[in-house]
Amino acid sequence: MYASEIETGLVAPIPPLARIFVLKIAELCNLNCSYCYMYNKGDRSFRDRPKFMSREIASAVLTRIASYAVRRNLRTIALALHGGEPLLAGREWMQWFLQEARRIEAGGDFQFEIGVQTNATLLDSQWIEMLSAYGASIGVSCDGPEEWNDRERRDFDGRGSYQKVRTALELLAATPGVSWGVLTVVNPDAPPKAVLKHFVDLGAQAIEFIWPDYNHDNPPPWPPGKMASYFCELFDYWYGLPSPPEIRWFESAISLLLGGPSRIDALGPDPLTYITVESGGTWEPLDTLRICGNGITCTSLDVRTCDVETIWTLPLYQIGLRNQDLLPPVCNRCAYRSVCGGGYLPHRFRRDTGFSNPSVYCAELLAVLSHIWQRIAPDIQKLRAVSTPR
């Protein structure tokens, strides 16, 4: 499928190194979110995997990643505990994993930065205390006020999740010393100011606003311009706050516009280096790529027998590393190419042309990035005028 896009034999001896690993410790979830790329975007590979990652697999994963960190002289490695719903693995398993990670970490000159991404319906004070004790950060998935969250984030009986999630968010805000934030999948019909204010009022200092996962074979259902209007309005409100929370999409956009780096994989011209480990113990490319086809991310690279670097030769992983080489002429002519990088790789996919396309959100990204530049340019000029010696 990818031979026409990239020659898999031309692999650099040491390509850009992965520093973020997404561990699918649970392939189950207690919610049935309509937009979920894991279960509701056509991929069915989860059905063939273990419901939970075994301790044998988890220990092998940690050992392999630790060896890789030492071998490649990496001082930090981010481990994102994911699912499904990772808390379904249970407290006993989670405590064992955290202890094992800290034990293995102690044997090398590096650090695991551990984060747990949860729907928070099971998150209580005991979970918060345990995770915080091991230095794990907590990301909570929530789409805003109850009216908007419960449109998509429901359980299998159709009941909304908001009340349980709000209780968890209030617990997090009331617990000192916990590193936490919110991830929200944007619904452009929702009022962006109200969504952001909702999270700020609950005490969130870091909020991820995620573009919903669509591509050219399954395009967004909203009218053209809807997402752009949402993000432009959201940016203006955020930019005008006296003490704005961290929104990495906006901060990365500003950094890129000024010639700096990006902090997210959805913006910028960087290689896509994320590695996923499924519950059955296989090294796989970025997990959101599964929206591009059933089983598209599946491999036979077992963590018990294969080092991290074996993923370098996979065609799909190579596409991520060299994604900028695949951009069409229209992207290469665009003034914002170095900012959007053609868009998030899964959003570039089309069955007949693979990833050699602009993002399905191309026009929306151009409108938002142009708006951000027009908004910040006068302030940049003022700063430069003040800092210029007379």
CA distance 65 to 82: 17
CA distance 182 to 164: 14
Read off the pLDDT of residues 78-109 as tens digits, 9 standing for 90 and up. Answer: 999 999 999 999 999 999 999 999 999 998 89
Residue 2 domain flag: no
* 269, pLDDT greater than 80: yes
pLDDT score for 8: 43
Interacting residues of 283 by C-beta distance below 8 A, sequence separation 6+: 275, 276, 277, 299, 301, 303, 306, 308, 310, 311
pLDDT score for 6: 43
Residue 10 domain flag: no
Read off the pLDDT of residues 343-381 as tens digits, 9 standing for 90 and up. Answer: 999 999 999 999 999 999 999 999 999 999 999 999 998
pLDDT score for 301: 98
> In the numeric block, which tokens belong to residue 23?
């561990």
* 11, pLDDT greater than 90: no
How does strand 20-24 pair with strand 275-277?
Answer: parallel
- CA distances to 21, 23, 26, 122, 140 from 82, rounded to whole Å, are 10, 6, 7, 14, 11
Report, in angstroms and rounded to the nearest whole number, the Rg of the chain calculated over CA atoms.
21
Which residue has tokens 């259902």? Answer: 221
* 5, pLDDT greater than 60: no
Residue 83 domain flag: yes
Query: Residue 382 — pLDDT band, cuts 50, 70, 90?
Result: confident
Query: Residue 384 — pLDDT band, cuts 50, 70, 90?
Result: confident
pLDDT score for 390: 55
Read off the pLDDT of residues 116-164 as tens digits, 9 standing for 90 and up. Answer: 999 999 999 999 999 999 999 999 999 999 999 999 999 999 999 999 9
- CA distances to 26, 70, 87, 99, 232 from 93, rounded to whole Å, are 11, 26, 9, 10, 43
- CA distances to 249, 254, 369 from 374, rounded to whole Å, are 17, 11, 9
CA distance 380 to 274: 33
CA distance 25 to 330: 40
pLDDT score for 213: 98
Query: Residue 9 — pLDDT band, cuts 50, 70, 90?
Result: very low
Residue 85 domain flag: yes
* 10, pLDDT greater than 50: no
Q: What is the mean pLDDT of residues 199-223?
A: 97
pLDDT score for 388: 59
Mean pLDDT over all residues of the chain?
A: 95
Query: Residue 4 — pLDDT band, cuts 50, 70, 90?
Result: very low
H/E element holding 97?
A: helix 91-105
Residue 189 domain flag: yes
| Side chain identity, residue 193 | K
Residue 325 domain flag: yes
> In the numeric block, which tokens belong to residue 118?
């949860």
Measured in whole angstroms, the distance separating CA 169 from the mean position of its chain's CA atoms is: 20
Residue 146 domain flag: yes
| Side chain identity, residue 70 | V
Read off the pLDDT of residues 226-241 as tens digits, 9 standing for 90 and up. Answer: 999 999 999 999 999 9
Q: Which residues of 162-185 are buried (b: 16+ CB within 10 A; e: fewer)?
A: bebbbebbebbeeeeebbbbbbbb
Interacting residues of 151 by C-beta distance below 8 A, sequence separation 6+: 143, 187
- 18, 56 contact by CB (below 8 A): no
Say which CATH number the domain at 90 has.
3.20.20.70
List residues bridging with 160 in a β-sheet. Answer: 154
Q: Which domain holds residue 58?
A: 20-329
Interacting residues of 25 by C-beta distance below 8 A, sequence separation 6+: 52, 53, 58, 81, 82, 83, 86, 89, 93, 97, 279
The pTM of this model reads 0.94
Query: Residue 389 — pLDDT band, cuts 50, 70, 90?
Result: low
Query: Residue 66 — pLDDT band, cuts 50, 70, 90?
Result: very high
Tell me how many domains the chain contains. 1
Residue 86 domain flag: yes
pLDDT score for 107: 85
CA distance 105 to 284: 23
